[in-house]
Structure 1
Amino acid sequence: MERHEMEAFLTLAEELHFRRTSERLGLAQGRVSQTIRKLERHIGAPLFERTSRKVTLTPVGERLRDDLLPAYQQMRRALADAAAAARGTRGVLRVGYSSPMAAELLLKAADELSVRCPGSEVRIREIQLSDPLGPIRSGQVHLQVTELPVDEPDLAVGPVVITEDRRLLVHRDHPFARSATVTLEDLAATTLITFAAPPYWQEFHCPRQTPSGRPVPHLVAGNWQEAAAMVGAGRGVTFASARAEQYHARPDTVWLPFPHLPRIEYAPVWPRDGRTPLVEAFLQILKPVK
């Protein structure tokens, strides 16, 4: 039995309808009928009962379907595995994230990659804001979804996949918590908790001066959990994306709207010389969160 005969028979055995079978196979309906008749002549018995109302399998057809289907599915898996190996899309892809929102996005993409690229595996890990680019430069991850901006000559940046409103986190007893609005100028009256990130990232997210030129005191945290604890202890304020409150809300902390700085954006980042077929396949799956 040739492959096209096997596909025609198994598709018709599933659909039990010649028109739908021809549409699925992309063949003319007459071609499907011709293939089935040829197969029946070869076997020496009808495989289908045909009437003007319906198509059903004969007992011989049912037995052939049950015997052929496992072998056909195994053949398709083998072909898919071979194609994946040829494309270089087998193996482990290590992916980093810097926020729980990004982790959810990556887990969904990992499930899709396993379907599209049999033999692939995605392992994800959290990237600390105290060393946001260290793991990708050392090869600990092949790709990461992280806060922008990233402006490094050795790293490529993909399209934005998450965009979030900005929030200012303050202790519940902080004067800002009782203010109708908090502006950039007000930051001079407090301490802004930030991270050991590149200077351009610091300036984008945590300005050192107000618009009038007043200095904004800074305090560096080792990671996000430490920054949240420092806010809860009344040692300063910090910024976060709005949806992060779902994961990091605390009874001692108030999340205030802060539209005076750009919204926080997240995008995939990878080494410029590291866009492997597996990285490429994963990037094609990542879609912006609506």
Structure 2
Amino acid sequence: MDLVRHLECFVAVAEESHFGRAAARLGMAQPPLSQRIQRLERELGVRLFDRTSRQVTITKAGVLLLDEARALLARSDALMATARRIRDGESGLLRAGLSADIGGETVAAIMADFRQRHVGVELELHELSTAQQLARFASRDLDVGLIHHPCDITGLELGPVLRRELGVLLSRAAPQAALGEIPLASLSGYDLVLFPRAGAPALHDDILTTCARGGYSPATVRHGQGSSFVRGLVLSANAVAFSPRDVHPSGDRDPDVVWRPLTGAPLAWRHSVAWPAGHRDSAVSTFADAATRALRDTAGASADPPSRPLHLRPASEFWL
């Protein structure tokens, strides 16, 4: 019996509570799926599901075995990934994701550190939003990534959570540009340039909620990420944008745009390296350590106090 394949069938039926949906998810017909579940039950000596004509319900024994099955599947995936890298030798590949707001100096530091400490694996970096990284983790097309919180971290393991405080980019001609630091409430009347919500929905909503609580409710939220595009909107659309200082190191030298800290540092990007649970091999560990060091050394990131959630929160908590 192919235990791994049979366990995949068990987990799929348990999560879908329906043989038809589980079969579609696994790309197989329903009768062979039912046969595999029956054979697994015979091998284990326990009944995993109670079946009726209308529903499939996992049994108590099934519930107790489900976490073990998931853990075995995760370890199987990790073993296969490690074996591929060993087999490929110096052409081994680590697929890693970074969000667009990571500065160039930080990207370069991550790559240099990784190459120095893990010569035998090629680091393939992809610029991906948090949502895109989570989707690729689910499809097993990404090995490790640097994500924003809060987000859905189910099934992931995390490195240390680091905080990059956000300031505001605004036109040098704006009255607030003369201030050493800017209260959120003083930005009333300006539109806000923010990353597209689809890239990190919970973070997007969290930022707007914090702004509203701080007395700033932008009339219009404009979406943009590229530094030149954001700069153009700030200059031409009576808008401001939030950014860590390391992404705009020339803010004080730019003749038209300035960067200023926010009073009380109410906003921050919160990052951590993430990877699928049970998939931490030496290459993933090396990347996690390199990314953590680079954020601290080149982006001024610091340890985030464990006072804010990492998991998604109910939508009703936003905009209070």
* TM-score interval, smaller chain: 0.5 to 0.7
Task: Give the structure 2 partner of residue 232 of structure 1.
Answer: 235
Q: How does 1:78-93 map to 2 (within 5 A)?
A: 85=86, 91-93=92-94
**1:203: how far off?**
3.5
CA–CA distance in structure 2, aligned partners of residues 185 and 96 of structure 1: 35
Task: Give the structure 2 partner of residue 124 of structure 1.
Answer: 125
> Which of residues 247, 252, 261 in structure 2 aligns to 1:244?
247
Task: Give the structure 1 partner of residue 22 of structure 2.
Answer: none
Question: Partner amino acid for 2:124?
Answer: R
Matched, 1:175 2:175: yes
CA–CA distance in structure 2, aligned partners of residues 277 and 255 of structure 1: 39
**1:169: how far off?**
0.4
Task: Give the structure 2 partner of residue 110 of structure 1.
Answer: 114
Q: How does 1:1-290 map to 2 (within 5 A)?
A: 85=86, 91-98=92-99, 99-100=102-103, 101-115=105-119, 118=120, 120-128=121-129, 133-160=134-161, 163-179=163-179, 181-195=181-195, 196=197, 197-207=199-209, 209-211=211-213, 215-225=217-227, 226-246=229-249, 250-258=254-262, 259-272=264-277, 274-288=279-293, 289-290=296-297
CA–CA distance in structure 1, aligned partners of residues 230 and 130 of structure 2: 10
Judged with a 3 Å threshold, the aligned counterparts in structure 2 of structure 1 residues 282 and 130 are, in CA distance, closer, same or farther, namely closer
**1:167: how far off?**
1.5
Task: Give the structure 1 partner of residue 12 of structure 2.
Answer: none
Identity %: 21
- Does structure 2 conserve the Cα–Cα contact (< 8 Å) formed by 1:97 and 1:146? yes
CA–CA distance in structure 1, aligned partners of residues 202 and 286 of structure 2: 31
CA–CA distance in structure 1, aligned partners of residues 233 and 137 of structure 2: 28
Question: Unpaired runs of 5+ in structure 2?
Answer: 1-82, 298-320
**1:136: how far off?**
4.6
Question: Partner amino acid for 1:267?
Answer: S
- Does structure 2 conserve the Cα–Cα contact (< 8 Å) formed by 1:93 and 1:121? yes
CA–CA distance in structure 2, aligned partners of residues 261 and 244 of structure 1: 18
Question: Partner amino acid for 2:272?
Answer: A
CA–CA distance in structure 2, aligned partners of residues 208 and 287 of structure 1: 26
- Does structure 2 conserve the Cα–Cα contact (< 8 Å) formed by 1:208 and 1:215? no
Question: Partner amino acid for 2:187?
Answer: L
- Does structure 2 conserve the Cα–Cα contact (< 8 Å) formed by 1:183 and 1:260? no
Judged with a 3 Å threshold, the aligned counterparts in structure 2 of structure 1 residues 174 and 272 are, in CA distance, closer, same or farther, namely farther
- Does structure 1 conserve the Cα–Cα contact (< 8 Å) formed by 2:184 and 2:215? no
- Does structure 1 conserve the Cα–Cα contact (< 8 Å) formed by 2:184 and 2:216? no
CA–CA distance in structure 1, aligned partners of residues 152 and 127 of structure 2: 21
**1:286: how far off?**
4.6
Question: Partner amino acid for 1:176?
Answer: Q
Q: Which has the larger radius of gyration?
A: 1
Given the two structures, how large is their TM-score scaled by the length of structure 1? Answer: 0.56
CA–CA distance in structure 1, aligned partners of residues 158 and 250 of structure 2: 26
- Does structure 2 conserve the Cα–Cα contact (< 8 Å) formed by 1:92 and 1:122? yes
Count of paired positions = 204
- Does structure 1 conserve the Cα–Cα contact (< 8 Å) formed by 2:273 and 2:292? no
Judged with a 3 Å threshold, the aligned counterparts in structure 2 of structure 1 residues 180 and 91 are, in CA distance, closer, same or farther, namely closer
- Does structure 2 conserve the Cα–Cα contact (< 8 Å) formed by 1:170 and 1:177? yes
Cα deviation, 1:13-71, whole Å, max 9, x if unaligned, reads xxxxxxxxxxxxxxxxxxxxxxxxxxxxxxxxxxxxxxxxxxxxxxxxxxxxxxxxxxx
Given the two structures, how large is their TM-score scaled by the length of structure 2? Answer: 0.52
- What SS does the aligned partner of 2:212 have? coil
- What SS does the aligned partner of 1:227 have? helix
Question: Partner amino acid for 2:127?
Answer: E
Question: Partner amino acid for 1:192?
Answer: L
CA–CA distance in structure 2, aligned partners of residues 215 and 128 of structure 1: 25
Task: Give the structure 2 partner of residue 51 of structure 1.
Answer: none
- Does structure 1 conserve the Cα–Cα contact (< 8 Å) formed by 2:131 and 2:200? no
**1:104: how far off?**
2.5
Judged with a 3 Å threshold, the aligned counterparts in structure 2 of structure 1 residues 283 and 229 are, in CA distance, closer, same or farther, namely same
